[in-house]
Amino acid sequence: MQSKKLVIGITGGVGSGKSVACKYFEKLGYRVIYADVVAKELYKTNKNLRALLVKEFGKGILDSSGRISYINARKIIFSKKSNIKRVNSIVHPFVIDEIDRIIIGSKEKIVLVETAIMFESGYANRMDYVILIYTNKKTRIERVRKRDNVKISGIERLMKIQMDEREKIGYADFIIKNNSTPAALYRSIRSFSKILNVLN
């Protein structure tokens, strides 16, 4: 991406607390772009994206009004690993273009981009650095179980579809551990923000 800004990726598996981490970065004054939010908006507004997804997955991906259903799309995406690759190949070029547009138009010198599939999608290659919010498996399962009131077996199935967290460690530039409390995570992020300011 042609930009003088420092662009930092933030990622982590389900239950890692990456969304909470992003909120803390925002609290400290950083601009955070959420790839999921960008994708949801594109599902609603981009006719070319909708046509490509319907062609690939059928009209079951639409809601009753003929728009892409985010809920249906997630069910399709996470039903098997091969679908993740199929969806990414269609959706990510649109998402990447839109995020690039937002970054170029932003006034901030440091911009953070959050996505769960930073490495799987290859988007990490477009970042200056990538932060991994790392949490051990047991804690992640317990967080998701309490948050979403779902069975452990379902959470484990989702985790198997995603890249293993230990593998992500090898790709990340920075790792922020989140095995304790929200307050501890905030302290870690506040300390890490000093590094960000030096990088810029």
β-bridge partners, 175: 132
CA–CA distance from 53 to each of 41, 56, 97, 121, 177 (Å)?
A: 15, 5, 17, 17, 36
* Segment of 64-68, 72-76, 101-105, 156-160 carrying the highest mean pLDDT: 101-105
Tokens coding 14: 């389900």
The average pLDDT across 138-161 equals: 86
Q: Which two tokens stand for residue 181?
A: 């409390």
Better-predicted residue by pLDDT, 48 or 75: 48
The CATH number given to 6-199 is 3.40.50.300
Tokens, residue 85: 């690759």
Residue for token digits 């990510």?
Answer: 92
What average pLDDT does range 145-167 have in this prediction? 84
Q: What is the pLDDT of residues 97-144, one digit of tens each?
A: 999 999 999 999 999 999 988 998 888 999 999 999 999 999 999 899
Q: How many CA atoms lie within 13 A of 194 on its CB side?
A: 4
Higher pLDDT, 167 or 70: 167
Domain locations in the chain? 6-199
pTM of the model: 0.87
Rounded CA-CA distance 173/124 in Å is: 10
pLDDT in tens, 8-21: 999 998 889 999 99
What pLDDT does 1 receive?
47
User: In this model, does residue 2 exceed pLDDT 60?
Assistant: no
